[in-house]
Amino acid sequence: MKIIGLTGGIASGKSTVADMLIQAGCTVVDCDKIAWQLAEPGQAIWQIYVDRYGAKVLNQDRTLNRQAVADIVFRDRQELDIINSLVHPLIKDRLLAEAEVARQRGAKVIFWDVPLLFETGFDKMTDEKWLVYVSPATQKARLINRNGYTEDEALRRINSQMSLAEKQKLADVVINNDGDIEALRRQVLEKVNNGQR
């Protein structure tokens, strides 16, 4: 079975491409969804945050206050690295388990939708890397429009990740998302139909 890592940067359109792949009949495992499940009260990632930061990162109903966590880790690179070193092995185990389930079901190809594919080293477990690319200006504008961030907030989040230019050098397939949704769909379907899945 072939494992394809799908990645991008914040506001690059990676999730849109993942949805298009699902619509085309591909098997896609969403890394963020795994992380959200593991961050439910009492689950492993939730426990990591509570052990490290205490009740200040919890809502009244004991769910994780994601904004409080983001405010801590996106302001301190060292803290982000520490959290990632604790969280990423848990996600890696779940990705491998999902790949095994897909293999047993007879899947020939599985996509791992992983925002930090290269940063985590998860790319080393894949057979091919797909990058959804946008220009820096497009990325910043989309993030400000989508999330209502100030320019500083947007840049802080963008700069917390490896640049798309760096990722482009490591990718096997680059999907350019500077155009409209139909241009994006055409690229994705072309890659799927050309047997790159």
According to DSSP, the β-strands at 128-133 and 2-7 are: parallel
Q: What residues form DSSP beta bridges with 58?
A: 64
pLDDT digits (tens, 9 = 90+) for 8-57: 998 999 999 999 999 999 999 999 999 999 999 999 999 999 999 999 99
Average confidence score pLDDT of the chain: 93
| Cβ 29 vs Cβ 112: under 8 Å | yes
Question: Is residue 61 exposed (0-12), middle (13-18) or buried (19+ Cβ within 10 Å)?
Answer: exposed
* Res 160: pLDDT: 80
Tell me how crowded residue 52 is: count the other CB atoms within 10 A of its CB.
14
14 neighbors 142 (Cβ within 8 angstroms): no
DSSP state of 135: -
**CA distances in angstroms from 43 to 12, 84, 87, 124, listed in the order given:** 29, 16, 12, 27
Distance of CA 73 to the CA centre of its chain: 17
144 touches 49 (CB < 8 A):
no
- Per-residue pLDDT tens for 50-100? 999 999 999 999 999 999 999 998 888 899 889 999 999 999 999 999 999
CA dihedral 94, 95, 101, 103 (to 10 degrees): -160
Q: Is there a contact between 38 and 94 (Cβ–Cβ < 8 Å)?
A: yes
Q: Is the pLDDT of residue 141 over 90?
A: yes
Nearest to 122 by CA among 98, 99, 89, 79: 89
Alpha-carbon separation of residue 151 from 8, 155, 160 (angstroms) = 20, 6, 14
| Residues facing 5 on adjacent strands | 112, 129
Model confidence at 197: pLDDT above 70? no
- Token digits of residue 29: 């495992």
Stated pTM of the model: 0.85
